[in-house]
Amino acid sequence: MASFYLENMMVCIILGFKALYMSLLFVAVTSSSATIPKVFDVQSYGAKGDGKTDNTNAFTNAWKDACAYNGRSRVYIPRGTFYLGGVTFKGPCSGKISFFIDGTLLAPSNNDDIKSDTWISFQYIDYLTITGSGIIDGQGKESWPHDECYKHDKCPLLAMNMGFDFVNNSRIKWITSRNSKAGHFNFFNVDHFNVTDVTITAPGDSPNTDGIKIAFSSNVQISNTHIGTGDDCIAILSGNTNFDIYNVTCGPGHGISVGSLGKSKEEKNVEGITVRDSVFTGTIAAVRIKTWESSASTIAISKIVYENIQMVDVESPIIIDQTYCPFPPCEKAGDSHIQVQDVTLKNIWGTSRSKVAVNLECSKSFPCKDIQLIDINLKNNGPGGPATALCENVKGSARGTMVPPSCLN
Ligand SMILES: *[C@@H]1O[C@H](CO)[C@@H](O)[C@H](O)[C@H]1NC(C)=O
Ligand SMILES: *[C@@H]1O[C@H](CO)[C@@H](O)[C@H](O)[C@H]1NC(C)=O
Ligand SMILES: *[C@@H]1O[C@H](CO)[C@@H](O)[C@H](O)[C@H]1NC(C)=O
pLDDT (tens digit per residue) in 336-376: 999 999 999 999 999 999 999 999 999 999 999 999 999 99
Measured distance CA(347)–CA(382) in Å, rounded: 22
Instruction: Compute the distance from residue 293 Cα to the ligand 2 centre, in Å.
Output: 37
Residue 19: is its pLDDT beyond 60? no
Q: What is the pLDDT of residue 333?
A: 61
Instruction: Give, as one character, the DSSP assignment of residue 28.
Output: H
146 — phi, psi (to 5°)?
-90, -5
Domain contains 241: yes
Residue 30: is its pLDDT beyond 60? no
Encoded amino acid at 216, one letter: F
Instruction: Compute the distance from residue 348 Cα to the ligand 1 centre, in Å.
Output: 37
Q: Which domain holds residue 320?
A: 232-409
Instruction: Compute the distance from residue 169 Cα to the ligand 1 centre, in Å.
Output: 9
Instruction: Compute the distance from residue 179 Cα to the ligand 1 centre, in Å.
Output: 31
For the Cβ of 308 lying below 6 angstroms from any atom of ligand 3, the answer is: no
Output the ligand 2 site: residues, CB below 6 A.
Answer: 169-171, 192, 194, 221
Residue 9: is its pLDDT beyond 50? no
Which residue, 176, 98, 170, is CA-closest to 138?
176
Q: Looking at ligand 2, which residue's alpha carbon is closest to its atom 2?
A: 194
Domain contains 303: yes
Domain contains 294: yes
Task: Give the residue, out of 164, 165, 166, with the most ligand 1 atoms within 8 A of its beta carbon, to mutate for a pocket test.
Answer: 166
Residue 234: is its pLDDT beyond 90? yes
Domain contains 376: yes
Residue 16: is its pLDDT beyond 60? no
Give the number of the ligand closest to the Cα of residue 225: 3
Indicate the pLDDT class of residue 335, thresholds 50, 70 and 90. confident
Domain contains 355: yes
Measured distance CA(197)–CA(183) in Å, rounded: 18
Residue 270: is its pLDDT beyond 80? yes
Domain contains 92: no
- Could you tell me the CATH number of the domain that includes residue 325? 2.160.20.10
For the Cβ of 218 lying below 6 angstroms from any atom of ligand 3, the answer is: no
Say if CB 76 and CB 48 are below 8 A apart.
Answer: no
Q: What is the pLDDT of residue 331?
A: 67
| Residues designated catalytic | 254
Domain contains 12: no
Give the number of the ligand closest to the Cα of residue 126: 1
Q: What is the pLDDT of residue 332?
A: 66
Instruction: Compute the distance from residue 96 Cα to the ligand 2 centre, in Å.
Output: 15
For the Cβ of 67 lying below 6 angstroms from any atom of ligand 1, the answer is: no
Q: What percent of the chain has pLDDT over 90?
A: 83
Beta-carbon contacts of residue 207 (< 8 Å; ≥ 6 apart): 144, 147, 149, 150, 230, 231
Q: Looking at ligand 3, which residue's alpha carbon is closest to its atom 13?
A: 247
Sign of CA dihedral 226, 97, 67, 170: negative
Tally of domains within the chain: 1
Give the number of the ligand closest to the Cα of residue 174: 3
Indicate the pLDDT class of residue 64, thresholds 50, 70 and 90. very high
**DSSP per-residue codes, 90-143:** E---SS-EEEEE-SEEE--SSGGGT-SSEEEEEEEEESEEEESS-EEE--GGGT
Residue 292: is its pLDDT beyond 80? yes
Task: Give the residue, out of 93, 121, 167, 168, with the most ligand 1 atoms within 8 A of its beta carbon, to mutate for a pocket test.
Answer: 168
Say if CB 361 and CB 322 are below 8 A apart.
Answer: yes
Give the number of the ligand closest to the Cα of residue 194: 2
Measured distance CA(407)–CA(360) in Å, rounded: 9
Q: What is the pLDDT of residue 34?
A: 54
pLDDT (tens digit per residue) in 77-110: 999 999 999 999 999 999 999 999 999 999 999 9
CA 285 to chain centre: 17
Indicate the pLDDT class of residue 150, thresholds 50, 70 and 90. low
Domain contains 171: no
Residue 328: is its pLDDT beyond 90? no
Among 42-51, 288-297, 331-340, the range scoring the smallest mean pLDDT is 331-340
Q: What is the pLDDT of residue 41?
A: 98
Give the position, in ligand 1's atom list, of the atom nearest the Cα of 167: 13
Indicate the pLDDT class of residue 235, thresholds 50, 70 and 90. very high
Q: What is the pLDDT of residue 330?
A: 73
Q: What is the pLDDT of residue 61?
A: 98
Q: Looking at ligand 1, which residue's alpha carbon is closest to its atom 14?
A: 126
Which residue, 281, 219, 287, is CA-closest to 249?
281
Give the position, in ligand 3's atom list, of the atom nearest the Cα of 249: 5
Residue 31: is its pLDDT beyond 70? no
Write down the mean pLDDT value for the chain: 91
